[in-house]
Amino acid sequence: MTLKNGNSYRESLKELNPEVFYLGKKIDDRLGYPSFLPHINSAALTYELANMPEYEELLTATSHLTGKKINRFTHIHQSTDDLVKKVKALRLLGQKTGACFQRCVGWDALNATYTVTYEIDKKNGTNYHKKFKEYLLYVQENDLMIAGAMTDPKGDRSLKPSQQKDPDLFLHVVEKNDKGIIVRGAKAHQTGIINSHELLAMPTLAMGEEDKDYALAFAIPVDTKGIIHIFGRQTNDTRRLEEGTMDKGNYKYGIVGGEALTIFNDVFVPWERVFMCGEWEWTGLFVERFASYHRQNYGGCKTGVSDVIIGSAVAAAEYNGVASASHIKDKIAEMVNMTETLYSCSIACSDQGHETDSGAYIVNPLLANVTKLNVTRYIYEICRLCHDIAGGLVATLPSEADLNNPQLKYLIEKYLKGVDNIPTENRMRIFRLIENMTGGTALVESMHGAGSPQAQKIMILKQANLKMKKKLAEDLAGIEKEK
């Protein structure tokens, strides 16, 4: 096995031909299409850095199945040290890209499926874990990028999957035969799926026996017959179709993860790729495991992105000539404090992780949910402070085309000048980066990625052991319970 690099990753995508639509049109050339390139570049960096000696410790690991060196994004965590390295790797990549590098969802799906299939087999005598380990070997040997497919459209949230008027609003089995299953439905918010090699589908919520046809986990290539990907819109996304780089902000790596709505039109899945089919009793654990892994991530990747936002605020303050003002320093200190708080939460939930029955390690679920709940608040505040520091030009800046217009160039350079020794173009580029990184799409992803704030609160209360806390208070207050 050879680790892929950025170029071999891009070449491997040419072997796949998924059906992708964007802005109402079918896109055949994914690798050359301007709207997709930043996401491909961001994912490619996870391969590139893994081949650099200075990043080897964080971005590679030793497979517990083969003893070979693998990309860490295909690794099953074998210790709390692995969980901590995961967070450090995500912060590094957030710093390098300023965006989503897309491989976390699939990585978390691999680990959740590994641990849960082991426990299903142990209880039920099935062979899901054996099949999954064979699939995992294939993923590691070929250094594949996996898209984790968790979220269903859900329809009427007050109804269970089996109660929906349209049964396809949750992905479900429509037929079984001796070769495999046929599934129909959709998965929403599919991060990085159009530039992934495979998708790994999982149940989206805890289910009852009446929902057993929806209790599914399986893996197939993203270009399997019957799959359609509808690429979602992002803030100012048509700027990627324009010439130049300035107005695109983070022009090389984009904003978030290139999400898509993925439709399954009677898609065949062979039995060797099916890792759950009808075991509704295990759906709650599956969701909890995946969510815990995924909520851990946000104190890593989002702190890396926040490092870039803080840096852009510092640059904007310097370019505006206000870097020495005490209120600017105070705001930057607040941004740093919130960023490091998020990182501390993520490191803590990793360090306090534990071994599962399968031998793989899971994070502390309470602290993982605290991490993500804090992200839903702090990222908004970090972005607000950055807007406060930078000023109104973030929202009203003329375009790069205006700057390149000979009639306007002198006027823009004259009237948008800040500190005298800073070129006006540099100031404009920082403002565009701030606009790009702190705009609507990125904030919504911080709020709802890995589940909404309410989902974290539910898990926090579930894990908080409030009875124990109540007893602590009653003991100290001298309250004795009647026997």
Binding residues for FAD: 191
Rounded to whole angstroms, the Cα distance separating 22 from 126 reads: 41
Residue where the block lists tokens 């993925």: 262
| Residue 235 φ/ψ, nearest 5 degrees | -55, 130
Q: What is the bridge-based pairing of β-strands 146-149 and 260-270?
A: unpaired
Selecting among 298, 319, 343, 361, the annotated active-site residue is 298
Edge to edge, the sheet with strand 146-149 lists: 146-149, 198-201, 216-221, 274-277
**Binding annotation:** 191
Query: Residue 201: in which H helix or E strand, if any?
Result: strand 198-201
* Options 301, 345, 349, 383, the catalytic residue: 301
- Choosing from 104, 345, 383, 386, the catalytic residue is 104
**Residue 80 near residue 34 (C-beta atoms within 8 A):** no
Residue identified by tokens 């999957």 is 161
Does the annotation count 298 as an active-site position?
yes
CA–CA distance, 6 with 41 (Å, rounded to integer): 8
Phi, psi of 423 (to 5 degrees): -55, 140
The catalytic position among 117, 294, 303, 343 is 294
Q: Under a CB-based contact definition with an 8 Å cutoff, are residues 269 and 180 in contact?
A: yes
259, 288, 400, 435: the catalytic one is 259
Q: Which of 46, 60, 80, 100 is catalytic?
A: 100
Say how far apart CA 88 and CA 96 lie, in whole Å.
12
Instruction: Decide if 9 is catalytic.
Output: no
The residue to which tokens 């690794």 are assigned: 75
242 is catalytic: no
Q: Which amino acid is at 288?
A: E
User: 3-class SS at 151?
Assistant: coil
Tokens of 372: 């993500």
What's the DSSP call for residue 197? S
Q: Cα separations (Å) of 113 from 19, 230, 387, 411?
A: 27, 26, 41, 59
Token pair of 448 as six digits: 């709802």
* Spatial separation of the C-alpha atoms in residues 245 and 121, rounded to whole Å: 52
Give the span between the Cα atoms of 440 and 386, in whole angstroms. Answer: 14
Name, in order, each residue with C-beta under 8 angstroms of 391's C-beta and a sequence gap of 6 or more.
316, 320
* Backbone dihedral angles phi then psi of residue 103, each to the nearest 5 degrees: -90, -5
Q: Is 386 a catalytic residue?
A: no
User: What is the rounded distance in angstroms from the CA atom of residue 120 to the CA atom of residue 280?
Assistant: 11
Rounded-to-integer distance, Cα 35 and Cα 39, Å: 8
Strands 146-149 and 198-201: parallel
Sheet (strand 25-27) strand order = 25-27, 19-22, 227-231, 260-270, 180-187, 172-176
30, 39 contact by CB (below 8 A): no
Annotation marks residue 301 as catalytic: yes
> Which residues belong to the active site?
100, 104, 191, 259, 294, 298, 301, 445
